[in-house]
Structure 1
Amino acid sequence: MAETAIRLRDVQLTLGTGRSTVHVLKGIDLNVQRGESVGIVGPSGSGKSTLLMVLAGLERADKGLVEIAGTPLGGMSEDALASFRGRNVGIVFQSFHLIPNMTALENVAVPLELAGSADAFERAARELANVGLKDRASHYPGELSGGEQQRVAMARALAPEPAILIADEPTGNLDQETGRQVADLLFAEQARRQMTLVLVTHDPALAARCGRTIAVRTGVIHDDGHGSAAATVPAAGPAASPVGDAALPQAAR
């Protein structure tokens, strides 16, 4: 039997208070197997990016089970959760989130240094070479193209050798050709390392490259990618709406 990398049961999340309350996730059930690639799609405001942040351990669910790599996240302290995330989950964001006053090499080394790796810079250099940026290691983010910045971000996510890679609109800020190149690299690394990949995208072509596509609308999974739609849709609450991409964790998109 395949090993389960991600397991969600009745996951619910509400943002805001009073009249501004937004029911973002409304009872999500989801299994993702080890080594599987899953694309999450849905309209803006559907809750798909919030779901991704819950999977990444960057947003806590109000209710339900979130189990990553066999470990329930609900009872963890913030420090324990950060440590667990650093060992098990790599994250690639649409907006790169590189530190502007650090070189590409230093950016990639950050999670390794935080984990206490004695050879952080050697490993970071290998990852940069692996994504084709060996000659750009000493450049700062402002000196790199968008595609190069996203490859640095990918190298940073891959450097700790996580079992699970989470990607939120990884090609969303790139032109079509650069986006295709980044996607090629993303799926090549997922296959080579046999990682579990979960990504959110508005791009049907990118989603189609995943082994399974999950459709989310108004905080509910309407199609789990196995040919079955959600049996019951909770009563509609206030519609989910974007809060913004700048803050971490991200709100519903």
Structure 2
Amino acid sequence: MDSRIEPSQFSGLAPDTISIKDVNLSLGTGAARVHILKDISLRVASGEALGLIGPSGSGKSTLLMVMAGLERPDSGEVVVNGTAFNALNEDALARFRGRQVGIVFQSFHLIPTMTALENVAVPLELAGVADAAARAEQELISVGLGHRLHHYPTQLSGGEQQRVALARALAPDPAILVADEPTGNLDEATGKQIVDLIFTKHAERGMTLVLVTHDHSLAERCDRVVRLRSGHIDDTSADRNTAS
């Protein structure tokens, strides 16, 4: 099955990197099943920085997981970089995600028995990248960790661990970077450094960026801010902001 769709299905001034249409998602089973996302439709243009905000439980992190292909919706369409997720099996979706989507979480998710270099290189090696170690080293240098290549996560500060996680996300040169509360486990000063680095990489590489945050001042650094409330997009929040 051809997983690509025509961009004309979604109107807009710029090509859409992410197109979500009529998405619903429930999690849990039986009486504990909760309807998280409710008829969500959203487009994110190529190269855009989008901030997702909303109260706890509003569905913003779940929506990010849907965009990244980590959660499949119960209904609706998810099209990323021209590829329809519902046309991909789990293996194909994982391969697509590995090439096209970089993911940074609040928790760093580093493998404790691997050095910083290995944490970045091993996913590249598994994806068949021939120069995995060299590329991993370059990415770590680019995030300011050229002097920490052979240190283990327990030997790194929280900010350094998040830099490793960012290097790992950037190493495949993805079209899209999604970040879920990337400063949540960091102090204010370190968090600012990580955010500055994320926005620098976004600008340098022209990636699409989707950022989930509870920090309104951080969200306003994005080109556009969308607020979720109880699984719905609050239409009053969807205008492009004036932040430069």
What is the TM-score when the length of structure 2 is the normalising length? 0.91
- Runs of 5+ in structure 2 lacking a partner? 1-12
Alignment match, 1:20: 32
How far is 1:224 from its partner? Answer: 6.8
Structure 1 residue 141 and structure 2 residue 153: aligned?
A: yes
Alignment match, 1:41: 53
Cα contact 1:12–1:24 (8 A) shared by 2:
yes
Structure 1 residue 72 and structure 2 residue 84: aligned?
A: yes
Q: 1:214 to 1:192 in 2, by over 3 A?
A: same
Alignment match, 1:29: 41
Cα contact 2:225–2:239 (8 A) shared by 1:
no
In the aligned structure 2, how far is the partner of 1:12 from the partner of 1:48? 13
1:36-80 Cα deviation digits (max 9, x unpaired)? 000100111111100000000000001000000011001211100
How far is 1:225 from its partner? Answer: 4.5
SS at match of 1:74: helix
In the aligned structure 2, how far is the partner of 1:92 from the partner of 1:132? 17
Structure 1 residue 115 and structure 2 residue 131: aligned?
A: no
Alignment match, 2:106: 94
- Runs of 5+ in structure 1 lacking a partner? 229-253
Higher relative contact order (CA 8 A, sep 6+): 1
| Structure 2 letter corresponding to 1:184 | D
How far is 1:16 from its partner? Answer: 1.5
What is the TM-score when the length of structure 1 is the normalising length? 0.88
Cα RMSD for the two superposed structures: 1.1
How far is 1:220 from its partner? Answer: 0.5
| Structure 1 letter corresponding to 2:19 | R
Percent identical among aligned pairs is 64
Count residues in correspondence.
228
Cα contact 1:212–1:225 (8 A) shared by 2:
no
How far is 1:189 from its partner? Answer: 0.3
Of 222, 227, 237, the match for 1:210: 222
Cα contact 2:224–2:239 (8 A) shared by 1:
no
SS at match of 1:135: coil
In the aligned structure 2, how far is the partner of 1:101 from the partner of 1:204? 36
Cα contact 1:213–1:224 (8 A) shared by 2:
no
